[in-house]
């Protein structure tokens, strides 16, 4: 869980000059995986981000195929060895520089895709501050349901509408039940929201009927990404009982193109601790390693750029900041152990969403539902515009990074999505 080695050395530098820029998200200590292609008619290739470049692993002679889902199934020892080989070849003074240099391409010159072929998608609800704040809006006397502190809550999402960062999506339609009406109506959502999340990609599968013990759970995880699970709150409030979200969630979810490996995140572990007085997890959800190293210290932020801001060249306002370790009531290892304890089979490329990751204060909220108290207190942006929920033309950008004294800061890239008008309707 917490193995540190030469690849984490903050003194390491690369012959790829942009990787040594203190502002880069992709120094040699990071090396996240993703897929890219040169044009829409070419095949997807496996790449690793280094500075502002992508290293083509096949052309560098590091792998013999371009099947990301196959690569993700590698044993942990094979993944460690590949990371070491990439790091050694990109290191300043490496004798492999000529071969690796020929396999480099600028990120700006290629199309970045979804990091892998995604089969199944499960969205969890690990953010206890989000669960409490949303529960407070609807159940002031009992914001957290009785099972929350015992079982990692989740639901099955829709993989077919996952899209890579930079994509837009149309405002969805759905049934909405207004307080003043006796019948629901089919309407465009008027309460379109964001959800600041992390995504976890499964690498190694498990056989159906064979649970993954918590002690081995992270061996089955390939990497971590940024994830925005857009939500239609007015549709959700009408449809979610008794079986949970449906059309309010499955119209679009945005994923960043890079998977930051657990190897890269090893220096940014924290003890996984629960508040005093909370119940101890059941034995299958507990282990000494999980308690010692189970939390990931990942800082996150949300930017909102309106159409007017974009036209004026304004990058957008930061509307929220939070930290995964402070927000998550359940660890990554616990999610894998729970998902499989009933015999559920996971496959390479399966995606777990964390659920909305809000901090303990309202300013750290990962959704507009919380930031605006259900739409009652709109945000006033730096250009004077106000938002309770998202308008057509709004762009949301999620960012995340890990930073600690004495270590190189590493980032996740960005997770960017833009709201388009209802399909068939012109923009205002």
Q: Which residues, 6+ apart, have CB-to-CB distance to 107 below 8 Å?
A: 36, 49, 52, 53, 54
Number of Cβ within a 10 Å radius of residue 160: 8
Mean pLDDT, the chain, as a whole number?
96
Q: What is the pLDDT of residue 140?
A: 85
- pLDDT surpasses 70 at 373: yes
Q: What is the pLDDT of residue 1?
A: 64
Q: Is the pTM of this model over 0.85?
A: yes
Mean pLDDT calculated for residue range 152-174: 97
Q: What is the pLDDT of residue 44?
A: 98
- pLDDT surpasses 70 at 227: yes
Instruction: Give how far the C-alpha of residue 293 lies from the chain's centroid of Cα atoms, to the nearest Å.
Output: 20
Q: What is the pLDDT of residue 312?
A: 98
Task: Tell me the domain boundaries of the chain.
Answer: 6-112, 121-420
Could you say which of 2.40.50.140, 2.30.30.230, 3.40.50.300, 2.60.40.1180 is the CATH number of the domain covering 6-112? 2.30.30.230
For residue 391, give the nearest of 314, 278, 305, 312 by alpha carbon.
305
Q: What is the pLDDT of residues 302-323, one digit of tens each?
A: 999 999 999 999 999 999 999 9
Q: What share of the chain has pLDDT > 90, as a percent?
A: 94
Which positions are annotated as active-site residues? 130
167 confidence band (pLDDT: 50, 70, 90)? very high
End-to-end CA distance of the chain: 51
Mean pLDDT calculated for residue range 269-280: 96
Architecture of the CATH domain 121-420: Alpha-Beta Complex (3.90)
Length of the chain: 428
Strand pairing of 410-420 and 167-170?
parallel
State the Cα–Cα distance between residues 282 and 300, nearest whole angstrom. 30
Q: What is the pLDDT of residue 139?
A: 86
427 confidence band (pLDDT: 50, 70, 90)? low
For residue 322, give the nearest of 267, 377, 271, 362 by alpha carbon.
362
Q: What is the pLDDT of residues 57-107, one digit of tens each?
A: 999 999 999 999 999 999 999 999 999 999 999 999 999 999 999 999 999
- pLDDT surpasses 60 at 428: no
Q: Which residues, 6+ apart, have CB-to-CB distance to 230 below 8 Å?
A: 169, 192, 193, 194, 195, 249, 251, 252, 253, 254, 417
295 confidence band (pLDDT: 50, 70, 90)? very high
Q: What is the pLDDT of residues 328-366, one digit of tens each?
A: 999 999 999 999 999 999 999 999 999 999 999 999 999
């Amino acid at each position: 869980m917490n193995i540190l080695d030469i690849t984490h050395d903050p003194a390491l530098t690369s012959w790829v000059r942009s990787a040594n820029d203190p502002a880069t998200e992709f120094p040699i200590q990071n090396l996240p995986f993703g897929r890219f292609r040169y044009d829409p008619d070419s095949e997807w290739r496996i790449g690793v981000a280094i500075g502002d470049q992508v290293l083509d692993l096949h052309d560098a002679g590091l792998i013999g195929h371009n099947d990301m889902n196959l690569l993700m199934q590698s044993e942990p020892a094979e993944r460690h060895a590949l990371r070491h080989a990439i790091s050694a070849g990109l290191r300043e003074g490496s004798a492999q520089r000529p071969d690796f240099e020929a396999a480099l391409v600028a990120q700006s010159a290629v199309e970045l895709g979804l990091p892998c072929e995604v089969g199944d998608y499960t969205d969890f609800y690990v953010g206890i501050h989000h669960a409490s704040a949303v529960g407070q809006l609807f159940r002031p006397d009992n914001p957290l349901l009785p099972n929350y502190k015992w079982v990692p809550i989740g639901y099955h999402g829709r993989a077919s509408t996952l899209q890579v960062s930079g994509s837009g999506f149309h405002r969805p339609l759905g049934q909405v039940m207004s307080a003043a009406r006796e019948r629901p109506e089919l309407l465009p959502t008027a309460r379109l929201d964001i959800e600041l999340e992390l995504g976890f990609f499964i690498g190694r599968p498990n056989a159906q009927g064979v649970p993954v013990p918590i002690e081995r759970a992270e061996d089955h995880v390939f990497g971590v990404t940024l994830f925005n699970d857009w939500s239609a709150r007015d549709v959700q409030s009408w449809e979610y009982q008794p079986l949970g979200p449906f059309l309010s969630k499955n119209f679009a979810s945005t994923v960043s193109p890079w998977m930051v490996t657990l190897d890269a995140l090893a220096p940014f572990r924290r003890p996984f601790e629960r508040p005093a007085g909370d119940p101890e997890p059941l034995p299958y959800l507990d282990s000494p390693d999980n308690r010692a190293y189970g939390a990931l210290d990942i800082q996150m932020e949300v930017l909102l750029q309106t159409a007017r801001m974009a036209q004026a060249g304004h990058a957008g306002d930061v509307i929220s900041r939070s930290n995964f370790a402070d927000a998550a009531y359940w660890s990554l290892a616990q999610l894998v152990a729970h998902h499989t304890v009933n015999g559920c089979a996971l496959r390479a490329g399966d995606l777990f969403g964390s659920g909305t990751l809000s901090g303990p204060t309202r300013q750290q909220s990962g959704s507009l539902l919380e930031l605006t108290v259900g739409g009652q207190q709109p945000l006033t942006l730096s250009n004077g515009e106000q938002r309770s929920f998202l308008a057509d033309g709004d762009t949301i950008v999620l960012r995340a990074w890990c930073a600690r004294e004495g270590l190189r800061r590493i980032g996740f890239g960005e997770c960017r999505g833009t709201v388009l008008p209802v399909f068939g309707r012109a923009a205002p």
